[in-house]
Structure 1
Amino acid sequence: MKRFCTNCFLFLMIFSMLFNSISFAGDNNLNLKGEGVLLMDYDSNRILYEKNSTKRFYPASTTKVMTAILAIELGNMDDMVKIDEEVVKLTDGSHIALDYNEEIRLEDLLNALLIASANDAALAIAKHISGSIEGFVELMNAKAKELGAVNTNFVNPNGLHDDNHYTTAYDLYLISKYAMENKSFRTYVSKSEYTIPPTNKKTEARLIHTTNKFLYGIEKMDLDGKIVPIRYNGIKGLKTGTTPEAGSCLISYAQRDGKNMISVILKSDKIGVYTDTYKLLDYGFNNFNPTFLGRSNEFIENLNIENGSLPYVSTVLNRDVYYLLKDDEVNRVEKNLKFKDKIDPPIAKGEVLGSAEYYLDGSLLAKQDIVSTIDIKSVPRNNLVNLLLDKWYISLIVVLITIRGLFLLRKRKYVRSRYSKYS
Structure 2
Amino acid sequence: MGAHKGRKPSSGDSLSKKTSNKLKRQQLYILHKKDKDKELREQRFRRKKEEDKDPELRAARLAKNKPQTLETKRVWDDVDDDGLGVQVDVEQLKRRRLEEEERAQMGAIDEEEEDDDDDDDSMLASDDEEGEDNEAKKEALERKREKRAKRDTSLAPSTTSTNLDLTPSSLAAKFPTLFTDIPPPTPKVLITTSLNSTLHNEADVFCTVFPNSTYIRRTNHRYGHKYSLREISRFAANREYTAVVMLREDSKKLTGLTVVHLPSGPTFTFSITNFMEGRKLPGHGNPTNHYPELLLNNFKTPLGLLTAKLFQTLFPPQPEFQGRQVLTIHNQRDFLFFRRHRYVFRDKRATERNITGTDGKDMEGVEGIRVGLQEVGPRFTLKLRRVDKGIGRAGSEGDDALQWEWKGKMEKDRKRFNL
Higher share of residues assigned strand: 1
Q: Which has the higher contact order (CA 8 A, sep 6+)?
A: 2
What TM-score, normalized to structure 1?
Answer: 0.21
Q: Which has the higher Rg, Structure 1 or Structure 2? A: 1
